[in-house]
Chains A and B, each alone.
Chain A
Amino acid sequence: MTHRISIIAIGCAIAISAGGCASFGPKPWEKDLMARKEMQIDPHPMLTAADNHIFFSKEASSGGRGFAGGGCGCN
């Protein structure tokens, strides 16, 4: 079952990325909300980077949206 879900999820992701779902998502004239700053995927990248640097310094995990790097964070 888990495998089946994984295959479906991967298949859907490929289909979306290949443009297979051509009518997926809103029409251009329906993007009024998406144009607002608060709907940007990361409206404050400096704040996100500062948070990530703290978490990277105190936890064993990194990664996610971007690539963690640029400093030891050993304290």
Chain B
Amino acid sequence: MQLKPMTGKRTGHFRESLAAFSATLLAATLATHGAEAQDSSSSNENNNFGPGTAYTQIDGALLVYKEAGGRVQAIEPALDTQIHSADGYVLNVELIADAVSGATPNGAVPSDLSQTFTTPVRVTANSATGAGGEGEGEGGGTGAGTGTGGTTTVTGASGGSTVVSSGGTASRQYTVAPNTLPVDKGFRDRRYAANVNWSQPLGDLTLVGFGAGFSREHDYRSITANVRAAQNFDSNNTTVSLSLNMELDSSFPFGGIPTPLTAMDGAWKTPKERSKTQTGFVIGLTQVMTRRWLTEIDYAFNMQHGYENDPYRIISVVAPSTGEPTSYLYENRPNNRQTQSLFWDNKIDLDPTVTDVSFRFFTDNWGIKSETVAVSERLNVGSSFYVEPDVRWYHQTAASFYRYYLVAGQPLPAYVSSDTRLGAFTSLTYGTKVGFYLSDRTELYLRVAYYQQTGNGHPAGTFGQLRNQDLFAGTKAFFAFVGYTWDFH
């Protein structure tokens, strides 16, 4: 999902539609559960689900995500259907939609002066359109342009931005108040995704499978494919698995692909689209260690090649003594990336609690290293209710080309980005899940979580007005997830 101006009316309508769809989905599954619960009172009910049994599992879920400070918010319903045959064939179909809107940091540093940023806009007969992806006239800030020649500022554009017409060309501008993190308030996006997977036993192999996925946003498209195999050993106490993954990502940002390290402006850029490919594999080992301890180790390798930039992201160039911004350049990242991760997960049954402890070590050729530790403790309360608090700690180092800002007059680096997500920071996530088994066939669960990044907002070596600014644009977010699982024959 990327940045573009929004039409509040249309986004609101879409969000309402998604909310209505989600409510319908959950209501339908709950209503079905009601009927099913009555059925299950009959003595002939078969509540056996698992290997060797033909059954279907439907999961309906809704994610609500909201960042502090009026930044990104999202609502995402999802529906997953798994059809299991008695002899181990499984077909899985997953559908996801989401609506995202809000404000996102554009990459510039705050200043004690107001800052104005200029982006492309599409002008039709008497309106300006600031979003692409679904054809002319879709989305965007709108406002009537009345000037001929000279400069005309058009009010009424959405997201706190204005459309400026000058000499027959137009651009969108938004101004950020002094001592404020620069964010573009006017973006919205929609994403639709579908994933289909198939798996089955084959010959001596316990499982072989393949799958494909498609994800589409206004300005981004992703196609994925995977092939996988797994083999059980030692009375099914050991499972070894291998998964090969491929992905093709295409970015077609509103306004075209900017030339890296050139000044931000309102001109339309070419080319319109750039893409990158990803290929990778995951090798996994799952081992039942004891009656109460299950462990899993996964090693993942991923290789990316192609367009890695965030086409909307800029970096400030500041004056050497005052620290005041003098210009804004589009970022540039290396066009290849290799990542590796080692993941170790443990489940320990300490009846009536179940502890999950996982560790992940990650490294890439951009200079980023990260460690993740996650712990959850599930407490069963009776046979049909449980509570599961969790905490996740994450720390990453910065990419070698991460900079808070550039200094005017100094040589430009080949690669540079001020994206906080490529900087050094620590994040903490606190969450709690509660679940209810409404019957032997159904489960309703809810998880709420709070996510907070902390980083260095006052790095050494800053000067001028930058010394008084918080240069870390980290995220604080609240999210809630409600899901309903229903098994039936």
Contacts and interface: CB of A to CB of B under 8 A. Distances in A.
Interface in A22-73: 22, 24-28, 30-39, 41, 44-47, 50-51, 54-55, 57-67, 69-73
Contacts of B343: 63-65
Interface string B231-258: 0011111101001010101010000000
A34 B479 CA distance: 30
B291 A75 contact: no
Nearest to A25: B237
B481 A50 contact: yes
A18 B234 CA distance: 9
Contacts of A64: 298, 300, 341, 343, 358, 360, 372
Nearest to B449: A51
A16 B287 CA distance: 8
B100 A38 contact: no
A74 B394 contact: no
Contact of B1 (A30, A50, A72): A72
A22 B95 CA distance: 41
Interface residues of A, number: 49
Given A69-B245, A70-B193, A16 B285 contact: yes
Contact of B76 (A28, A50, A61, A63): A50
B175 interface: no
B339 A63 contact: yes
Given A13-B285, A41-B286, A34 B294 contact: yes
A19 B396 contact: no
Contact of A60 (B76, B238, B370): B370
Contacts of B50: 35
A21 interface: yes
Interface string B286-298: 1111111010111
21 contacts: A18-B233, A19-B238, A21-B234, A24-B234, A24-B287, A25-B290, A38-B386, A39-B294, A41-B294, A46-B483, A50-B481, A58-B477, A60-B366, A61-B341, A63-B300, A63-B362, A65-B343, A71-B193, A71-B220, A74-B310, A75-B100
Interface of B: 1-3, 50, 59, 61, 63, 65, 72, 76, 78, 80, 94, 100, 102, 104, 187, 189, 191, 193, 195, 213, 215, 217, 220, 222, 224, 226, 233-238, 240, 243, 245, 247, 249, 251, 278, 280, 282, 284-292, 294, 296-298, 300, 302, 310, 312, 339-341, 343, 345, 347, 349, 351, 354, 358, 360, 362, 364, 366, 368, 370, 372, 378, 380, 386, 394, 396, 399, 421-422, 427, 433, 443, 445, 447, 449, 451, 453, 475, 477, 479, 481, 483, 485
Given A65-B296, A71-B217, 18 more contacts: A19-B238, A32-B291, A35-B50, A47-B433, A47-B481, A58-B475, A60-B364, A64-B343, A64-B360, A65-B298, A67-B282, A73-B1, A74-B1, A74-B310, A75-B1, A75-B3, A75-B104, A75-B189
